[in-house]
Amino acid sequence: MSWFAWGDPAKAATLDPGLRDLVSQVLRAPLEDLPPVPEERVELPPSLLGARLREALAGVVGDGHVRTDDAVRLRHSGGKSTPDLLSRRAGSADPAPDAVLYPADHDEVQRVLEVCSAERVAVVPFGGGTSVVGGVAPLRGGFRAVVALDLRRLDRLVSVDTTSMTAVLGAGVRTPHAEAMLAEHGCTLGHLPQSYEYASVGGYAATRSSGQASSGYGRFEDMVVSLRVATPRGTLETGGPPASAAGPDLGRLMLGSEGTLGVITEVGLRMRRRPERVLDEAWSFPDFATGVEALRSLAQSDVRPTMARVLDESETFVGAAMGGREATPGCQAVLGFEGTGTEVEARAASVREAMAAAGGAPLGPDPVAHWRSNRFSAPYLRDTLLSAGILAETLETAASWTDLLPLYTAVSDALTGALEDEEGGAVVMCHVSHTYPTGASLYFTVATAAGAAPLERWSRAKRAASDAIAAHHGTITHHHAVGTDHRPWMAAEIGPLGGEVLRAVKAALDPGGVLNPGKLIPEP
Amino acid sequence: MSWFAWGDPAKAATLDPGLRDLVSQVLRAPLEDLPPVPEERVELPPSLLGARLREALAGVVGDGHVRTDDAVRLRHSGGKSTPDLLSRRAGSADPAPDAVLYPADHDEVQRVLEVCSAERVAVVPFGGGTSVVGGVAPLRGGFRAVVALDLRRLDRLVSVDTTSMTAVLGAGVRTPHAEAMLAEHGCTLGHLPQSYEYASVGGYAATRSSGQASSGYGRFEDMVVSLRVATPRGTLETGGPPASAAGPDLGRLMLGSEGTLGVITEVGLRMRRRPERVLDEAWSFPDFATGVEALRSLAQSDVRPTMARVLDESETFVGAAMGGREATPGCQAVLGFEGTGTEVEARAASVREAMAAAGGAPLGPDPVAHWRSNRFSAPYLRDTLLSAGILAETLETAASWTDLLPLYTAVSDALTGALEDEEGGAVVMCHVSHTYPTGASLYFTVATAAGAAPLERWSRAKRAASDAIAAHHGTITHHHAVGTDHRPWMAAEIGPLGGEVLRAVKAALDPGGVLNPGKLIPEP
């Protein structure tokens, strides 16, 4: 993965002249040419890993698996948020880890944690490195050194059970690799977030990820049937049986713990059979509110699509303009159905009736096909826009159906209010991509001129949006997790006693506090 | 509720002569006549609640809501397991609570906990009192006194939102009352465990309950969208939005905490529309293994019944004999479908195909109607059998589909082995009543002669079964919870580090340790 951008440099997006005109017109800002600094000009702080410590760690993972060279440290100096990329593009990779470790298996992870806890070295677990909330920022947190614990070598299919339809995967397995291994057994996880090509299954578990087809396959946390977790105090294993009433579900305490309570090394997952049939249908609605109501009726019925999203008017318009297509008025919904042949047909027929009754007009499969072909490419466009002096970033939340549209308005207004100024305008777009019987997610995309101080500009907008979320019954994050960026809002999210519970669990599992300092858990 | 038996004394079961003959023949034991002692002969330990403490508690809940009379204390001296009833029937209600408190609302619960924590008084939360695992046993645990905290006055529908399809209910609301209040809004929870008539929604949450229609409506923990929990350290509120990635799900830490971490006072729940149509179908299978495979195929498909259970050969035979019907050979499955008219028909048609393909023969709706009419009555029969000198008790577990039949055999053998002796034989029956994509529950019913020392006899059988569960990848409890009875197996279930996590959370929320001592959480 590129050190200053998302993904594969060969797949970088281009800005065609039409899109350039559109962007500069809508944002009232001229496009610039702002390439990243060359890699050799990026400044990294020196590694603080002393020889004795290096030897102790090499004693666990092997000498070749302790890396302190700048190229490797740079590539573990943070995640893939717009602020992360802005900093690196400008030539700063501070903080950077003092070393990057590549353990081979659970036992090596376990021993690394024991060494680091004894030696007061901070440990930042690193899966795919795709965090957009500062989750893998190598913060030293007052310790002697900080190491990134890269889990890519934990890449095995540990076991598979096609009777119980479960598989145990190493935490470092990336999704395409997982899907390839499970496909040999006719199975799939069905988990496809936008970060799909790079994110790891351990990262999904640690952040309570949600994929684009969550309506049908569920959130990642709902697929997890067991976990193996290394902690400075030893190994914790959770789950196994399909359900239990034997006390609180301790697996759920590890899911979403973002490497602050332990390092997830193996993930037991529910699989599904690979779908025989995929059927797509797009719908048009007169406005976002009507489209949202249509999705609510689906989410609360017994017959649901596998994938359902509805774009607001702004995102519908921009999507059409970028695809060079005539924009339909109102807003667009894209639905996908996966399953066996007759079952998919029956489900789609039932949903078709519901969508028409809810005021929708059918658009056929083409808009969904267009969405599918671009579903993982938005981060590439974001990077190209950054090179043209345009900030493009996303943020997300979820709320009950009753709270959803007031929250949508409040966050949209907050973003627009924070960004409409003499440096240009802002485009705020939104879609609902994850629906539940009791509510749904909102996913905002914002584009605006980077201006003279882009980090401060985005930080102001993000703060305004987050305050609006907290004030309007939203969660501070539906699927991006907390990291550093959402941590200031965690006290409001879980209350003072919730914070104490997390700190108590951390003290029990990580008494030295070396695991991912500065993330997730609010200060007392 | 009767002090020595389940439920309403007016509904007591009778043993008709045919059933008497069957029981005594199969169990090789003569039936006896062993009525409970009269209430006035039951011995209770004296109340240790001193005048000052009584005054302090009356200052919170009002003088009339602190009860120390024997009639009330007897009715809070434990739950409804067979050992509970054997003790009380024999005239012992020791332990009994020193007082029973009836707080009016969350704030009174909160203040009671503060007083009890400061005064070193153990608190046993008491919902419907239906625990069969010792969950409401009033253990003093080394404290000055022990009080039962009866939550029946927290019986309000706090709020209802038919857009988001959620309702907040007071923890003391019993299910029929909840259903009546929600029915006014056209809604239902769909949660019907055997304890349905008496159990409270707070109890369901505290024990991770599962209802008979869990295939369609989900486990109770999956219906919970928010919780309000009183603790000695203050109030914890969890949930709200339909999904979140803002750290671990702290609501899941309270679900299943059995009153050891806090007292759940309000439960926010997902509702469903009341079904328009209910359709029942029974099926016959040549043997249990084939029936289980049929249920697995349903649980792993996209089209499922709302309720699905399959009885083993023994339970199929006994059920038919008790109903005075000809026993069909092999084993029986009962399926129920709930939803809208056309949707139910379509689903049932699809399931019909799957069941036939799995080797089933249709039996029509009558066996399901018979099951429905008797679904809440088994505990009454248990009590009548106790009066005839026959022990009848249940236990349950869950495992992956791969582990399910070996576990079934191991537990059956353990029970039979522990009970087949000179005092008589045992009938061990089993059904699968909760299915998941990755596995299912097993629910065993055992009948055997009480013998000379019934408590010891049952204890021996229970221990053998629990050891077999632990050795064969089952969970020590799928839906009865832990209480005192399953606590010896918790260390094996969650591991030493899991125990430390629970103790750390308890220390944070209940530093004095007064909440439900002796339950759930294993000793270090």
pLDDT exceeds cutoff 80 at A231: yes
The two beta strands, A121-126 and A145-150, are: parallel
pLDDT value at position B127?
97
Nearest to B148 by CA among B131, B164, B162: B131
pLDDT exceeds cutoff 80 at A327: no
Q: Tokens standing for A85?
A: 């990329």
Q: What ipTM does the predicted assembly reach?
A: 0.97
* A288-299 helix and A401-419 helix, angle to the nearest 10 degrees: 140
Lowest mean pLDDT among A43-52, B358-367, B370-379: B370-379
Q: How confident is the model at residue B480 (pLDDT cuts 50, 70, 90)?
A: very high
**CB-CB contact of A509 with A232 (8 Å):** yes
* CATH for B31-150, options being 3.10.129.10, 3.30.43.10, 3.40.50.300, 3.20.190.10: 3.30.43.10
Percentage of residues in chain A having pLDDT higher than 70: 100
Average pLDDT over residues B279-292: 97
Give the pTM. 0.97
Q: How confident is the model at residue A374 (pLDDT cuts 50, 70, 90)?
A: confident
B402 and A257 in contact by Cβ < 8 A? no
Q: Return the H-helix or E-strand segment holding A295.
A: helix A288-299
pLDDT value at position A504?
98
Residue type, B496: P
Residue type, B522: P
Count of A-B CB contacts under 8 Å: 291
Q: How confident is the model at residue A302 (pLDDT cuts 50, 70, 90)?
A: confident
B505 and A502 in contact by Cβ < 8 A? no
Nearest to A124 by CA among A198, A134, A87, A221: A134
A246 and B521 in contact by Cβ < 8 A? no
Contacts of B210 in chain A (CB under 8 A): 243, 245
Q: Domain B157-273 carries which CATH code? A: 3.30.465.10
Determine if residue A524 is labeled as part of a ligand binding site: no
DSSP per residue, B250-266: HHHHHTT-TTSS-EEEE
Which of B397, B403, B502 has the CB atom closest to A247's CB atom?
Answer: B502
Percent of chain B that is helix, strand, coil (3-state, to 5): 40, 25, 40
- Is residue B198 helix, strand or coil? coil
Q: How confident is the model at residue B376 (pLDDT cuts 50, 70, 90)?
A: confident
d(CA A315, CA A265): 39
pLDDT exceeds cutoff 90 at B383: yes
Contacts of B492 in chain A (CB under 8 A): none
Average pLDDT over residues B475-503: 98
Average pLDDT over residues B471-495: 98
pLDDT value at position B342?
85
Determine if residue A260 is labeled as part of a ligand binding site: yes
- A9-150 folds as 3.30.43
The alpha carbon dihedral of A293, A299, A303, A309 has a sign of positive
Lowest mean pLDDT among A194-203, B24-33, B199-208: B24-33
pLDDT tens per residue, range A138-165:
999 999 999 999 999 999 999 999 999 9
Residues of A annotated as catalytic are 443
Which of A207, A241, A436 has the CB atom closest to B245's CB atom?
Answer: A207
pLDDT tens per residue, range A345-359:
989 999 999 999 999
- Is residue B68 helix, strand or coil? coil
pLDDT exceeds cutoff 80 at A477: yes
Q: Tokens standing for B432?
A: 């699968």
pLDDT value at position B24?
84
User: Domain residue spans in chain B?
Assistant: 31-150, 157-273, 277-374
pLDDT value at position B281?
97
pLDDT exceeds cutoff 90 at A23: no
Strand order in the sheet with A99-101: A66-67, A99-101, A145-150, A121-126
Nearest residue in chain B measured CA to CA from A510: B501
Nearest residue in chain A measured CA to CA from B469: A241
Percentage of residues in chain B having pLDDT higher than 90: 89
pLDDT tens per residue, range B183-241:
999 999 999 999 999 999 999 999 999 999 999 999 999 999 999 999 999 999 999 99
Q: How confident is the model at residue B19 (pLDDT cuts 50, 70, 90)?
A: confident
Q: How confident is the model at residue B28 (pLDDT cuts 50, 70, 90)?
A: confident
pLDDT exceeds cutoff 80 at A418: yes
pLDDT exceeds cutoff 90 at B341: no
d(CA A76, CA A88): 11
Mutation target to probe the B interface, by most B beta carbons within 10 A, among A222, A255, A302, A469 is A302
Nearest to B197 by CA among B32, B57, B376: B376
Binding residues of B for substrate: 382
Contacts of A437 in chain B (CB under 8 A): 165, 242, 270, 272
B196-223 burial: b if 16+ Cβ within 10 Å, else e: bbbbbbbbbbbbbbbbbbbbbbbbbbeb
Ramachandran quadrant class, A492 (left: phi over 0; alpha: psi -120 to 50; beta: rest): alpha
Which of A238, A270, A302 has the CB atom closest to B438's CB atom?
Answer: A270
pLDDT exceeds cutoff 90 at B21: no
Mean pLDDT, chain B, whole residue set: 95
pLDDT value at position B15?
86
B165 and A249 in contact by Cβ < 8 A? no
Chain B closest CA to A506's CA: distance in Å?
A: 9
pLDDT exceeds cutoff 90 at B23: no
C-beta atoms surrounding B433 within 10 Å: 27
From residue A130, how far is each of A80, A109, A258, B487 by CA, in Å? 5, 21, 13, 42
A250 and B439 in contact by Cβ < 8 A? no
d(CA B350, CA B462): 40
Q: How confident is the model at residue B319 (pLDDT cuts 50, 70, 90)?
A: confident
Mean pLDDT, chain A, whole residue set: 95
Nearest to B493 by CA among A285, A456, A248: A248
Q: Tokens standing for B146?
A: 């022990």
pLDDT value at position A423?
84
Chain A closest CA to B63's CA: distance in Å?
A: 31
Q: Domain B277-374 carries which CATH code? A: 3.30.70.3450
pLDDT tens per residue, range A429-468:
999 999 999 999 999 999 999 999 999 999 999 999 999 9
Percentage of residues in chain A having pLDDT higher than 90: 89
pLDDT tens per residue, range B259-269:
999 999 999 99
In SS3 terms, B434-503 reads as: CEECCEEEEEEEEEEECCCCHHHHHHHHHHHHHHHHHHCCCCCCCCCCCCCCCHHHHHHHHHHHHHHHHH
Q: How confident is the model at residue A343 (pLDDT cuts 50, 70, 90)?
A: confident
pLDDT value at position B297?
97
